[in-house]
Structure 1
Amino acid sequence: MSYTISPVVSDDVESVLKFLKRTFYLDEPILRAVDYCQTGNDDTHDLDEYCRHSLPGCSFQAKDEDGNLIGVLVCDRCPVVNPTDCLTALKDCKSPKYKTVIRMQIMREIIAEIWNQYPNDSELIEIKMAATDPKWRNKGVMNKLMGVIEKTARDLGVRLLRIETSSAFSAKSAESKGFKCIFSRPYTEFQFDGKPFIITEPPHLDDRIYIKELF
């Protein structure tokens, strides 16, 4: 089973969004916890716009011999500063369910203070979404995509790779690739008025941020 890796370009954005909707949107533990996307026909305007803001960025895709998408890594260069993107997204968000996700993310960023952990770095490459077609999982596709983005970061002179893992499986995968966990907190501890924003299903119980220092 052969496939090719290529950068995501502007003409690929809509096909990438459709792919993410039938893979990442349906499987991601936080999105599942708030019932954001149940089927491929659900309205996911807010998350689609978030992706469009990041794409094509420095994202990569894998395609099979027939040109079908089998894997996507959505990545972008981001500043290592107190983020304002989440606040803008919250203001513009139309979905109450997705607003819950954004509020939790804002709280995470405030607590983690990554900009204080890496005061000598001005930017990083953030791996925002990673998705593989179910028929192609456990065949090395994502490992290959991760290798490509790591090489790209080095070529650009960007020292840090960042990935957030809501899935216990993604966390294990990140650790196997040399990422270091710099923030971890149970979802039940992200609260408003004494109640958790989000309650996820086991084994996906912790929100984590991982960083890999490339040089």
Structure 2
Amino acid sequence: MADTRSYHIRRATSADGEKVLPMMQGAFFRDEPLNMAVGLVNDVETCPELEQFCLEKLKEGLSLIAVGSNGDVVGACLNGCHKLGDVQQMEAQADICTNPKYRQILQFLAFLDRQADVFGKFPEISKVLEIHIVAVDSNWRGKGIATALLDRTRQIASELGFKLIKADCTSYFSALAMRKLGAQCVFSMKYVDYCAPGSAEPVFKLESPHTAVQTFVQMVPRAPDAVKHNGVHKTGCLHELDR
């Protein structure tokens, strides 16, 4: 059994991709509610598009990883900078996605971004630090790693001058964790209410407790030595945490 005391958290780089992806494939690709609903991956198929998304987030330099004493990545928090107007690029990316299962998820995330309208609710803000994915290896769950990753993310946001953190929680557990951290839910929608155009059939059929998606935000106090950061667009969401 893993020694839960011997891990440390650090900023991730693109060089960490070869260790982050295997952990994500086991802890997130299969377990995340939307991925499960569309059958995104199985024993034979993976999702190159989602793998590429994870690698792109690492390149931004805003993500964190938890590293065990043996050097394995046991948890990760993939973050990015989401700016006013990025939703148009999200919609364009969804339209050209050639993977029909992943396209459904991208379309939903773009729809969610418009419905939540975070920049409309906070007109003084033009960029937010987006928490896209938090995942923890199954052998290390329930040990507070996800909470530690989120706390460190808030510290990074403060240091870099972000005023707001945002997370789209597609999982009951991730929404619960954000509430425990004191984040505010600014939008919620039941999955049964999201249907394809011209259809009364829900796109995502999920089992309890994953009955709704929720968007959370949290104001970030500015650190005295905060520096400016220029980020890139966002196309993901916060799905899973260690339970």
The TM-score normalised by the length of structure 1 is 0.94
175-184 vs 143-152, which moves further: 143-152
Q: Counterparts of 2:153 and 2:47 in 1: how far apart (Å)? A: 27
Matched, 1:213 2:219: yes
Higher strand proportion (structure 1 or 2): 1
In the TM superposition, structure 1's runs of 4+ consecutive aligned residues that sit over 6 Å from their partners are: none
1:85/1:19 Cα in 2 relative to 1: closer, same or farther (>3 Å)?
A: farther
Q: Counterparts of 1:42 and 1:122 in 2: how far apart (Å)? A: 38
Which residue in 2 is equivalent to 1:43? 46
Q: Counterparts of 2:137 and 2:84 in 1: how far apart (Å)? A: 31
Give the CA RMSD over aligned residues.
1.4
Shift of 1:66: 0.6
Residue 176 of structure 1 aligns to which amino acid in structure 2? K
Q: Counterparts of 1:114 and 1:46 in 2: how far apart (Å)? A: 26
* One of 199, 204, 208 as aligned partner of 1:202: 208
Matched ranges for 1:104-183 at <5 A? 104-183=108-187
Shift of 1:51: 2.0
Q: Counterparts of 1:32 and 1:122 in 2: how far apart (Å)? A: 33
Show CA shifts across 1:161-195 (max 9, x none): 11111111111111000111011000111112122
Residue 34 of structure 1 aligns to which amino acid in structure 2? V
Which residue in 2 is equivalent to 1:66? 70
Residue 48 of structure 1 aligns to which amino acid in structure 2? E
Shift of 1:82: 5.2
Q: Is the 8 A contact 2:132 2:167 kept in 1?
A: yes
Aligned length: 214
1:210/1:116 Cα in 2 relative to 1: closer, same or farther (>3 Å)?
A: same
Matched ranges for 1:24-43 at <5 A? 24-39=28-43, 41-43=44-46
Greater length-normalized contact order (CA 8 Å, ≥ 6 residues apart): 2
Q: Is the 8 A contact 2:19 2:72 kept in 1?
A: no
149-158 vs 6-15, which moves further: 6-15
Structure 1: 5+ residue runs without aligned partners?
Answer: none
1:191/1:207 Cα in 2 relative to 1: closer, same or farther (>3 Å)?
A: same
Q: Counterparts of 1:179 and 1:94 in 2: how far apart (Å)? A: 35
Match of 1:23, SS? helix
Residue 76 of structure 1 aligns to which amino acid in structure 2? G
Shift of 1:204: 0.1
Sequence identity (%): 25
Shift of 1:70: 0.7
Q: Counterparts of 2:204 and 2:89 in 1: how far apart (Å)? A: 21
